[in-house]
Structure 1
């Protein structure tokens, strides 16, 4: 596989029951496009048989398949980042493994890019999610746009297309926490959106809980804007002014009416309100400090256990492993673990994306 025109990056986490259906639809859909392509599957530390199924698919289609195996669960966006760093296509498409976004829609995104756009987002038509997810998504989209000024109609849809220049810019970033669609939007010269179909998840459940969605949106807002801090500063000024006026009012009332005990509960209510606002502000400030803390530690964003990819003669070209099953054409060879002496970690492409396992040349 040499210089593919299109790369498709698919993060996978506990999708053993749906992967075969994905293979059955994805490869024929890409074959119809008439372009050279590669599919980069990133197994994000699945605890089921997903990794074994991906290895088997690599053995069946080594010409168009690459597999990256994490040694733990690092999150969807870190899996996509790892996929980006291993892509070679001039255009890159991201797709979830649950088939809620049909692979047949990829051609529509590429057709839109042919019009001169460098980043294509997608808007889910007639979403098949539960009502609370639909309402929460619309609310968070509106709040996110007000805070970050990033205009994405549907931030939760990961079916997106990127020009190579956008991918290179994303790969050069060193943030530990990031939201890829928003990051791509900040780099895009001419972004656009298209409407795509949205299907119900055939098997399994969504890997995003309500808490995960809240954390994701909080990271998005604090990672792309300081507006929350500015809003809180303005709120603090407003509350300070109101508190000053209220103190003057209470002093005048005491002089005119005399001491009163009835206002005690009102004062307690106001005090608790101010305490709540103060704690919220401390928490918000802590989010920004926490991001700084994670960044300055310079820890790897993810750890790769193995990379399965085909060389010019169909052999596995590179494996980063502790122990690896190496696929060679139609046979499977077990490669022994490296020597007991641990080698020092080598950086992958740049210092921001280190890998703790050195490359083995097959």
Structure 2
């Protein structure tokens, strides 16, 4: 059985078209299926549209907006199929690409990642995506090229392992790589957004990057450690140079470098605040983990078991 999990946040203009195309693709397969839409606290008419969809549909209404990955986790908690596929609701992930993922499931892979071909995104989105992909690859040490595409496939056993994970981080593509080595990445088509606007702002992308770094690696702390050592060594060297200058060139030379000293001081103060920020990020995550608040809260579940639209 195939389970499709789709997070929805203010996508009222895309839902009907998405469902028709998805319904057509899934009915062409010789397998049972279910479609799980997760309304992530939409403020438009998305929830009402979802509740009126026909087919083997389950609509999960969250209590508020928790974010894309948390919404997918909520959908994971409801899946029945042994093949689980995630995708976005904006139609940039064409439903017609799903058979490619199912083919790789049949070849025995546990996780099917995807690479968007000829991306229809802005230069800013492409740049931020490339940066995020580079950082994620270095941190996870898994050689995948596109960590941001949500059209992906997971065996149910991988989904269950992720659900049993007690950590509060929810970056699903990275978490999944910790539970299997049987991963493949395949190319898929990428489409223009049909309607509406992207929900990922610059702030959200930066937060996602920090979440990734602080949740999966000690690299920022290591950078601070070695950066501190290098800064201390530079300070000692500078002190020696200033002392020698005072000895050989007199007091006037030393006073002439006072502005350089201020410049170095400002650099060191900035580095300290940056270090405090990184440490604060880790401490904040420890605090969040200790509080043990749920990643998502389900408000209601609506089901439709009709076979046809």
The TM-score by the shorter chain falls in which range? over 0.9
* 1:161-240 equivalence runs, <5 A: 161-240=153-232
| CA-CA distance at 1:103 after TM superposition | 0.6
| CA-CA distance at 1:140 after TM superposition | 2.3
Conserved 8 A contact 1:94-1:161: yes
Partner of 2:261 in structure 1?
Answer: 267
Determine which of 236, 241, 244 is the counterpart of 1:249. Answer: 241
Counterpart of 1:41 in 2: which secondary structure? strand
What's the TM-score, normalizing by structure 1?
0.82
Conserved 8 A contact 2:83-2:105: no
Partner of 1:82 in structure 2?
Answer: 74
From the superposition, tell whether residues 258 and 144 of structure 1 become closer, same or farther in structure 2 (CA, over 3 Å): farther
Conserved 8 A contact 1:148-1:221: no
Higher relative contact order (CA 8 A, sep 6+): 2
| Counterpart Cα distance in 1 of 2:292 and 2:135 | 31
Partner of 1:291 in structure 2?
Answer: 285
| Counterpart Cα distance in 1 of 2:142 and 2:223 | 18
Partner of 1:357 in structure 2?
Answer: none
Deviations 1:50-87 (A, max 9, x none): 11011101xx22xx111100121111111000100100
2:38 aligned with 1:38: no
| Counterpart Cα distance in 1 of 2:126 and 2:294 | 34
What's the TM-score, normalizing by structure 2?
0.96
Conserved 8 A contact 1:7-1:39: yes
Conserved 8 A contact 1:74-1:302: yes
Partner of 1:133 in structure 2?
Answer: 125
| CA-CA distance at 1:11 after TM superposition | 0.3
| Counterpart Cα distance in 2 of 1:254 and 1:148 | 50
Deviations 1:334-360 (A, max 9, x none): xxxxxxxxxxxxxxxxxxxxxxxxxxx
2:92 aligned with 1:92: no
Counterpart of 2:89 in 1: which secondary structure? coil
Conserved 8 A contact 1:12-1:50: yes
| Counterpart Cα distance in 2 of 1:302 and 1:44 | 9
Conserved 8 A contact 1:112-1:120: yes
Number of equivalenced pairs: 306
| CA-CA distance at 1:199 after TM superposition | 0.3
| CA-CA distance at 1:212 after TM superposition | 0.5
2:7 aligned with 1:7: no
| Counterpart Cα distance in 1 of 2:213 and 2:170 | 10
Deviations 1:264-309 (A, max 9, x none): 1111111111111111111011111111111111222222111123
Deviations 1:226-276 (A, max 9, x none): 111112101111111111111111111111111232211111111111111
| CA-CA distance at 1:149 after TM superposition | 2.1
Conserved 8 A contact 2:5-2:38: yes
Partner of 1:24 in structure 2?
Answer: 20
Judging by fraction of residues, say which structure has more helix: 2
Structure 2 stretches lacking a partner, 5+ long: none
Counterpart of 1:195 in 2: which secondary structure? strand
* 1:316-331 equivalence runs, <5 A: none
| Counterpart Cα distance in 2 of 1:299 and 1:140 | 27
Conserved 8 A contact 1:178-1:223: no
* 1:109-120 equivalence runs, <5 A: 109-120=101-112
Counterpart of 1:287 in 2: which secondary structure? helix
Determine which of 53, 56, 63 is the counterpart of 2:52. Answer: 56
Structure 1 stretches lacking a partner, 5+ long: 315-327, 330-362
